[in-house]
Structure 1
């Protein structure tokens, strides 16, 4: 397949799935603007890495993987940021927070360890198959099944 065709397929995929990509990024960064930045940076990374796509059928999971890694990169950078000025601190406090309708579930999900949380998000919010989740996270399908079972158990305990 030509690079031009791959590029067109990627653009089509991104356009059709933009809300899903935003939701996934938001689930990591917890901020509307940061999530938009993650998606934008991920698109840029994907366009620059088109030659690395070996199978056009795995493009969806390939791009999800880019979103996950870009989100994690942002979170790592955030941890390194040191506020040096009260003015910076007050600017951050005045930020706009996003709101969810199901706060109990969101809170319980946020309290899950990352390796369980991402599986719940991809499986139930993004409707991924187990094999697709395994591909995005680079782990065995049986590991995904085990983690999903444990995540259900932890969520059930937290929701009670």
Structure 2
């Protein structure tokens, strides 16, 4: 496949699945604007590195990996930022916030370590198979299974403690 055809395939694929990738990015960054930035950056990275896609049949997992890595990069950068005073933040608040159906669950998921959160999001929010998750995260399937089990175990404990309060 030549470079032009591959670029067209990538563009078509991303356009057909843009909501899915936005949702995935949002699960990581928890912010509308950041999620849009992640998807935009992932698209740019995909076109810049389209030669790394050896087999066009794997475009789905290839692009998932790009989105996940881009979101994680943003989160790492975010950790390096200096925390702003609460009074300054309240003055900057525009009141526009995305709403969740289950705030406790989302809070618990966000509190998970990155390795567990990634597996959980890809499995249950993106409905991916364990083999695909392993490929996206560049891990063994057994590692993915272990992390998924551990993530569910941690969530159960957190939710039980929340109910008992």
Give me the TM-score of the superposition, normalised by structure 2. 0.86
- Residue 159 of structure 1 and its aligned partner are, at CA, apart by 2.2
Greater alpha carbon shift after TM alignment, 32-41 vs 21-30? 21-30
Give the conservation status (yes or no) of the 8 Å contact 1:83–1:89: no
Measured against aligned partners, the alpha-carbon deviations of 1:84-133 in whole angstroms (never above 9, x if no partner) come to 89997566444632111122221221121111111111011111111110
Q: Indicate whether 1:65 and 2:62 are aligned.
A: no
| Cα distance in 2 between the residues matched to 1:64 and 1:156 | 27
Are residues 55 and 155 of structure 1, via their aligned partners in 2, closer, same or farther at CA, if it must alter by over 3 Å? same
How many residue pairs match? The answer is: 160
- Aligned to 2:17, the other structure's residue is in SS state helix
Match of 2:115 in 1: 115
- 1:135-154 correspondence runs (5 A): 135-154=135-154
Q: For structure 1, which runs of at least 5 residues remain unmatched after alignment?
A: none
Give the conservation status (yes or no) of the 8 Å contact 1:108–1:159: yes
Give me the TM-score of the superposition, normalised by structure 1. 0.89
- Aligned to 1:98, the other structure's residue is in SS state coil
Moved over 4 A (4+): 83-92
Let me know the Cα RMSD of the aligned residues: 2.2
- Residue 57 of structure 1 and its aligned partner are, at CA, apart by 1.4
Match of 1:129 in 2: 129
Q: For structure 2, which runs of at least 5 residues remain unmatched after alignment?
A: 161-165
| Cα distance in 1 between the residues matched to 2:149 and 2:109 | 14
Q: Indicate whether 1:25 and 2:25 are aligned.
A: yes
Are residues 146 and 87 of structure 1, via their aligned partners in 2, closer, same or farther at CA, if it must alter by over 3 Å? closer
- Residue 81 of structure 1 and its aligned partner are, at CA, apart by 2.9
| Cα distance in 2 between the residues matched to 1:92 and 1:58 | 43
Are residues 92 and 65 of structure 1, via their aligned partners in 2, closer, same or farther at CA, if it must alter by over 3 Å? farther
Match of 2:104 in 1: 104
